[in-house]
């Protein structure tokens, strides 16, 4: 059945509102119900009216008219932000996030409508009958009321099928993450009634904001830093305390060290697997003669 055909059977244009469709359906259902109308063809007409009404309510249309995924609209993902320190970005951390999202409305089971009893004793007012055959269960349209259904808009969700709720989640932020990176929390976003009426949820996109730590930067799995040395210290060698993200480490600087030489402090990088790479920055004196005098005195 085409959507245009369904509206023609009901006797309305596709611009009609849901309320207009509902009123027209009730009017036609009363007019052609087999219990009230004994004219030839009334029963077939009644069946077509019910079929058209259910078709319009479901929002279905054949492939020539619409994409099957157009029968529902997918809510947007939720975007959240969290701030972490540079140290937390290197070694990883956890964050408790509280936010608002939509969840399935339980009273109407996410349908937005509360189905009313249509008064049919054969199906108990549901419009459908259940037939059990061994281990197989069949659900079919009631052959007495022909699936006639009535419903009221759900008051809890105002017909949307979802309600706003406050929720919280504990997020594990992995080490090695950079400023501006986005973590995708699958299925932690908004509820929607998806394709084939399956309950689905959008995602949460968590934007990570890393507070810089002066003197430190990230390169691959390593933390980078620099160590200032005087020319004399680089020539004669020395012992220096180097700051790491956890504590100060005492390191021996070899004699005759050169500018931009690198010192490796193991397991002080990402997740304690990477290293801290310390690059030497040799500061040359303004008065080279004074340096020569110092070196001569050491001899």
Question: Minimum mean pLDDT among 121-125, 154-158, 237-241, 287-291: which range?
Answer: 287-291
Q: What number is the average pLDDT over the span 40-58?
A: 82
pLDDT confidence band for 299 (50 / 70 / 90): low
| HSE of 192, CA atoms in CB hemisphere, 13 A | 16
Q: Distance (Å, rounded) from C-alpha 104 to C-alpha 99?
A: 16
Q: Are 164 and 101 in contact (CB under 8 A)?
A: yes
Question: What is the pLDDT, as a whole number, of residue 96?
Answer: 95
What per-residue confidence (pLDDT) applies to 294?
Answer: 63
Is pLDDT above 90 for 92? Answer: yes
How large is the angle between the packed helices 18-32 and 3-10, nearest 10 degrees? 60
Q: Report CA torsion sign: 181, 185, 191, 196.
A: positive
Please state the φ and ψ torsions of residue 52, each to the nearest 5 degrees: -65, -40
Find the mean pLDDT for residues 133-143: 76
* Residue 242 confidence (pLDDT) above 90: yes
Q: Which of 182, 200, 203, 204 is nearest to 192 (CA)?
A: 200
Q: Enumerate the β-bridge partners of residue 85.
A: 211
């Amino acid at each position: 059945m085409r959507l245009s055909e369904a509206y023609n059977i009901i006797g309305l244009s596709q611009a009609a509102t849901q309320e207009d469709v509902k009123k027209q359906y009730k009017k036609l259902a009363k007019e052609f119900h087999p219990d009230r109308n004994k004219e030839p063809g009334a029963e077939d007409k009644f069946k077509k009216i019910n079929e058209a009404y259910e078709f319009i309510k479901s929002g279905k249309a054949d492939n020539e008219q619409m994409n099957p995924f157009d029968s529902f609209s997918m809510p947007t993902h939720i975007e959240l932000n969290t701030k972490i320190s540079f140290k937390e970005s290197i070694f990883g951390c956890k964050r408790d996030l509280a936010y608002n999202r939509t969840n399935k409305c339980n009273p109407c089971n996410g349908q937005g409508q509360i189905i009313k009893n249509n008064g049919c004793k054969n199906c108990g007012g549901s419009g459908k009958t259940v037939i059990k055959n061994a281990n197989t269960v069949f659900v079919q349209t009631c052959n007495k009321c022909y699936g006639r259904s009535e419903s009221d808009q759900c008051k809890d969700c105002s017909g949307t099928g979802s309600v706003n709720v406050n929720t919280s989640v504990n997020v594990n932020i992995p080490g090695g993450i950079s400023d501006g990176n986005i973590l995708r929390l699958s299925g932690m976003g908004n509820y929607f009634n998806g394709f084939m009426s399956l309950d689905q949820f959008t995602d949460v996109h968590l934007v990570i904001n890393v507070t810089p730590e002066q003197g430190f930067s990230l390169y691959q799995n390593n933390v980078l830093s620099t160590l200032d040395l005087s020319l004399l210290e680089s020539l004669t060698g020395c012992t220096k305390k180097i700051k790491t993200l956890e504590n100060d480490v005492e390191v021996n600087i070899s004699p005759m060290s050169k500018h931009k030489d690198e010192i490796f402090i193991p397991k002080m990088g990402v997740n304690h697997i990477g290293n801290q790479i310390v690059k030497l920055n040799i500061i040359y004196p303004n008065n080279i003669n004074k340096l020569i005098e110092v070196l001569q005195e050491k001899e």
